[in-house]
Structure formats: C-alpha cells, structure tokens
Amino acid sequence: MHKRLFAIFTVVVGIGSALATPASAASDEFYRGKVIRIVVGFSAGGGFDTYARSIARYMGKYIPGNSTIVVENMTGAGSLIAANHIYRVAKPDGLTIGAFNGNQILGQLVGAHGIDFDARKMEWIGAPGYNHDLCVLNQNIGVASADQWLASKTPLKLGGSAPGTPTDDGPKILKEAIGLPMRLVSGYKGTADIRVAVESGEVDGICGFSWASVRTTWRKAIESGQVNIVMQNAPKAHADLPKVPLAVSFAKTAEARQLIEAGVHQPSGLTYSYSLPPGTPKERVQMLRKALAETLRDQDFLRDAGKANLEIAPATGEAIEQSIQRLFKTDAKVVAELKEILK
C-alpha cells in the first residue's frame, strides 16, 4: 500500500515538474539576446533619466539571458505621452518598461484631459526612490525663505513641465492650500531645462523638484548658494534638510492639509515607479521585480549611485500597487476640490 502511494506521489510530482520546468525555461530563454527598453517620459539629464541610465547599466545581469537594457526618452505632456504609450502601444511582453511621474496617476483620479491609461491595471515592478519634493529659488530674487515668499505681494515665476507633473500640479495646489504667491510658466521639457531657466533668471524658481534630483543634478548650485531650498513639499523633513520648513506646516485648515496630502504627498511616493503594460506575463513581471530589487542591492551599482549622488530608497512592486489603491480611495470631496484646482 505504501509503495503504491509513493508511486502515485512520484508520478504527480514528476508531472508537476514537467509542467513547471518548460515554462520556467521558456521564460529564462525568452530574454536571451533581447533588448529591453526603459521609456523615460522626460528629457535627458533630469532625475528620471539619471535613475534609468544608472539602473540600465546593471539590471541586465540579473535577468536570465543577460539582456541589454537601453533608455529611450519619450518627452511630451509631462510624461503623459510615455504613460499612454506604455498602456496602449507597448507590447505586453516584458520588453518595455515605463518611467513616468506619479502625478499622471493623480490626473487619472481627477479625470484630467488626455489620460488614456488605468494605473490600477498596469503591472508595477518597483522604484529606486521616491519624490521628496522641494521649492528651490534663485538667490538673486531676494527671497531666501518660505516666510518671505508667503509675505510677498508679488507672485514669483515658477518653471513647470506640463499639467500632470509635480512642477505644475504641486505649485497650483500650494497656491490654493497655503496662499503661495506664484505664477506658473509651463511648457519646459523637463527639470533639466527648468534648472537652466532658473539659473539664467528666466524664471524665479521651481516647486516640485525632488531632493533626489537636486542632489544629483544641481548640487554645485546649492553648495555655492546660487539657488536656495526654501520649502519641502513632503510629509516629513528629509534627514539632509532638517531646518527647511514643510509646506504642510503652513496649512491653516484640515481641508488644506488634505489637499496637500492627496495632491502632493501621495503622488510623490509613486513618482519614480517603473511600470509594464497590462497583460504582461506574470512570470516576467516577477522576474523583472526580482532583477530590479537585486540591482538596487548591487554593491557596484550602489557605489556608482553614491558617486552620482543618487538617493536609493527602494519600493517593491507590491507596495506601489497598494499605494495606488489607497490614492483611489481618497475622499470624494477632496477629489472634487483637486479637480477644480488642476483643471
């Protein structure tokens, strides 16, 4: 009797292995000799691009078949073109990864024009960091603190990319929530272009520029005092910026705090997330999640990231999915107010 049961068990295990092994082998073989694209929704030289190119140099070795990874900049509409491309155009084969900003997901929540994707149906593989938003001003304008800015009778000109980006949505929400005197000059291709505009005096500053990007791409200007960080648009102060005030600390009502939380804080946590088209085979999603996680632990990658001043604070694909679900549970009244502000 025992021998018979053992024989049956052996046959069942053998069948299970036979079924599982080809699928695994096929997944492993699929990536051999293939090229994976990371489609970045912003121009070269900004934070999104810097993260993606750093990751592309290392992630291939953690994918079976040692795939080559390239970065493609697909600019336009504050990364909305890239987001729609990932959802509607890219094949769900695990060869195209999207890098677009979390404010586009906020745009979906409020029904923004041009949104042609559903973030809840996309696959998410993880993120190298999050968007710790800042307001940075040119020192030549004579406004050196948030208090001075809030007391100013003249609105400051802020550079922005497009609706649906932190550099556009963040200032609009702060203007409504805390009375920030500002006038938005939108249409720049990315933060790299806005940096140039701030340094040249074309605009006075930028709100919605993350510390991860500032410390990487604008460090010399910060250290020389050419530009000043005057406000943090995050739920808590960054360890590197303990004396810079939080925007939410200037909110005088519960409604104002809710607007900042839902419209600034939550999307910031999604900003650097990497996505895949809906319908991507689950085994490839898991493979890419694992490869990204291993890349972000790779000592050579971390050493290079340190040299480039990249801040690495990984989030898993599962955590990103949960954050998106929370965002879509935002109180209807707050959503309606955000829709009015961002229309």
The string of pLDDT tens digits covering residues 50-64 is 999 999 999 999 999
In a domain, 7, yes or no: no
pLDDT of the residue at 15:
40
Same domain, 169 and 263: yes
Contacts of 161 (CB under 8 A, 6+ apart): 42, 78, 79, 167, 168, 186, 187, 188, 189, 190, 191, 194
Same domain, 36 and 55: yes
Same domain, 51 and 63: yes
Predicted TM-score (pTM) of this structure: 0.83
Same domain, 188 and 254: yes
pLDDT of the residue at 196:
96
In whole angstroms, give the CA distance from residue 92 to residue 165.
Answer: 25
pLDDT of the residue at 343:
85
Q: How would residue 13 be classed by pLDDT, with cut points 50, 70 and 90?
A: very low
Same domain, 196 and 261: yes
> Which residue range forms the structural domain that includes residue 94?
31-130+269-342
Same domain, 62 and 109: yes
Q: Which domain-ending residue is among 267, 300, 334?
A: 267
The CATH number that applies at residue 215 is 3.40.190.10
The CATH number that applies at residue 124 is 3.40.190.150
Same domain, 140 and 254: yes
How many domains does the structure of the chain reveal?
2
Average pLDDT for residues 255-279, to the nearest whole number?
Answer: 95
In a domain, 327, yes or no: yes
Same domain, 263 and 294: no
Same domain, 256 and 157: yes
Residue 7 confidence (pLDDT) above 90: no
Average pLDDT for residues 274-298, to the nearest whole number?
Answer: 98
Average pLDDT for residues 258-262, to the nearest whole number?
Answer: 96
- Pair type for strands 274-276 and 123-127: antiparallel
Average pLDDT for residues 250-271, to the nearest whole number?
Answer: 95
In a domain, 113, yes or no: yes
- Signed CA dihedral, 67, 79, 215, 220: sign only: positive
Tokens coding 210: 């993350």
Residue 16 confidence (pLDDT) above 70: no
Same domain, 308 and 194: no
Tokens coding 66: 């040692």
Q: How would residue 246 be classed by pLDDT, with cut points 50, 70 and 90?
A: very high
In a domain, 47, yes or no: yes
Q: What does each C-alpha distance from 68 to 28, 63, 144 come to in angstroms?
A: 14, 9, 46
Q: Which domain-ending residue is among 250, 267, 284?
A: 267
In whole angstroms, give the CA distance from residue 238 to residue 128.
Answer: 17
Same domain, 282 and 191: no
Residue 330 confidence (pLDDT) above 80: yes
Residue 17 confidence (pLDDT) above 80: no
Residue 329 confidence (pLDDT) above 90: yes
Same domain, 260 and 181: yes
In a domain, 14, yes or no: no
- Pair type for strands 68-73 and 35-40: parallel
Average pLDDT for residues 130-137, to the nearest whole number?
Answer: 94
Q: How would residue 19 be classed by pLDDT, with cut points 50, 70 and 90?
A: very low
In a domain, 17, yes or no: no
* Secondary structure of residue 28 in the 3-state scheme: helix
- Contact by Cβ (8 Å): 40, 48: yes
160 burial class (0-12, 13-18, 19+ CB within 10 angstroms)?
A: buried
Q: How would residue 20 be classed by pLDDT, with cut points 50, 70 and 90?
A: very low
In a domain, 19, yes or no: no
Q: How would residue 274 be classed by pLDDT, with cut points 50, 70 and 90?
A: very high
> What mean pLDDT value characterizes the chain?
91
Q: Which domain-ending residue is among 213, 243, 267?
A: 267
In a domain, 9, yes or no: no
Residues 28-39 have pLDDT tens digits of 689 999 999 999
